[in-house]
Structure 1
Amino acid sequence: MRAFSYDRPDSVDAALRGVAGQPGTTTEAAVKFVAGGTNLLDLMKADVMRPERLVDISRLGLDRIEELDGGALRLGALARNADTAYDERVQTRYPMLSKAILAGASAQLRNMATNGGNLLQRTRCYYFYDTGTPCNKREPGTGCGARTGVNRIHAILGASDHCIAVHPSDMCVALAALDATVRVSGPKGERTIPFADFHRLPGDTPQIDSSLAADELITAIDLPAHGFAEHSTYLKVRDRASYAFALVSVAAALEMDGQTIRSARLALGGVAHKPWRDPAAEAELAGKPASLETFAEAARVLLRDAKGHSHNAFKIGLAGRAIVRALAEAAGVEHP
């Protein structure tokens, strides 16, 4: 690990002053915020990220989970993943989110990792972590080793010629399905970012993971009042039962009227550079009976543009089956 300097401010304003005027994106900046450090420190040890200074934000008091008007809930950016997953309000009103968090990492990591950090964790692409191989995300312009290399865990949706990496988070897939909102503070004040707009597809700038600026700080994540508590689930398909990233994951949430689907939310993980939602697939479910045939058609629509590579084409069929199973579980429909 390279040498770095370290600051520990005691207020949001002081933390923002610590990164004021720093060039670069949130992933390339010379000065980085650090909280739990469960991803950033690994990247620094691997010499993938090389910040010159760390600003420790763990004492900023952003670790509360608070009620909002109308039944919404605010998750502090520094609340630990474990505390969020086991919070009674989250478990009762947003069970899909609780299940997604508990499906990720180990108990030890969940006890350290923060909600804000979860949004900013970086891909687990082999080539991104290996500084001896080309990677446009790590070093723009060097090429994408995964396109012609080992790409079993890589993207089947939303990829580009520059990058086929996937976002690793479980929590973010559920937040995407819930239409959460990210609250951030920066030199221009506070702003909110719809969750659908927070993460980016790679395009020709895969090194930029999110719409967060280098001098902005995530302060909270707001959950809407409607958490689909009665008809939702999170399904994670992985190589082993614990401590593995998703090959495919599905957050499925339904609003039901008897056996008819009134509205639906569907988000996929492990398949794209960001949690993947498709309004056309969700619209395909609205007004239809809750049946395996309906779910299979929605899966077909969602995966219509999916493209496999040399080692991961199996993900297309796997994703289709996972979508059907997750929707069936959310709707209470028997499935094979």
Structure 2
Amino acid sequence: MTAGGLPMAVPVEGLPARVRIHEVGARDGLQNEKATVPTEVKAEFIRRLAAAGLTTIEATSFVHPRWVPQLADAEDLFPMVGDLPVDLPVLVPNERGLDRALALGARRVAVFASATESFAKANLNRTVDEALAMFEPVVSRAKAEGGHVRGYLSMCFGDPWEGPVPVPQVVRVCRALRDMGCDELSLGDTIGVATPGHVRALLTALDAEGIPVEALGVHFHDTYGQALANTLAALQHGVTTVDASAGGLGGCPYAKSATGNLATEDLVWMLRGLGIDTGVDLGLLTATSVWMAEQLGRPSPSRTVRALSHKEQ
């Protein structure tokens, strides 16, 4: 470690020069909290993340409050952060959610699909194809409004009900999301069972399907400690967008075996060590996660946050 608390940068041939971190803590992280986080705290969290250099911060979700009560304040929150000079994508499950988002000026939206029938039923109460049919008018309207659309795809590697997910099954849904107009796809390892060889196999199959690697992001959970290894495998394949959650917040409310997301600080530490630029100030980011952990009343699970904050947690 260097004197400034950062790893020595030793570049590795074949990796991208820059990675864009898609920060999901304010949405994917906080939606899993048992207690509702005050809107002002959420807004301050997003402002601090932006000040730390994150340029894509997923702000909230325009779902019905009955399903995700922790994000029922989307209409109040978004205007509080809408003037920040960063991208603030929001999740929209259907046309009603899109209407609410567009009315507030949101122009980057995301839909949330599943690679498996079991999770589509648990999360959306629909089959995979019924969910895709629901998303099609959402995507086309968002695009007609000049928006950018991300397609999340859950259970790309394993499903708690169905077990390992066949690669062709995932490719089929990716193809459908691209065909309906999604600009970007986020490949989700929702229960954290992926390993690097599986990651490579899926990315290779998507190459063969003609889906450009530039349109792909990866979203790994650290259930079995594989998130960073899987991220490195994706980087070696050419992926340059990585989802992560400040402080390692979040999981999945509809998949009980899902533990936290890859911590943004752990990701930045690895990328710094590889000489890959992110534009993120690790000190400010760590301080932000320490502050957020205090608001939540528990320590951050991020190893890097614990190491850099020098606190016993």
Establish whether TM, by shorter chain, passes 0.5.
Answer: no
Which TM bucket (shorter chain)?
under 0.3
Higher relative contact order (CA 8 A, sep 6+): 2
Higher strand share: 1
TM-score (norm 1): 0.23
TM-score (norm 2): 0.24
Higher helix share: 2
Higher alpha-carbon Rg: 1
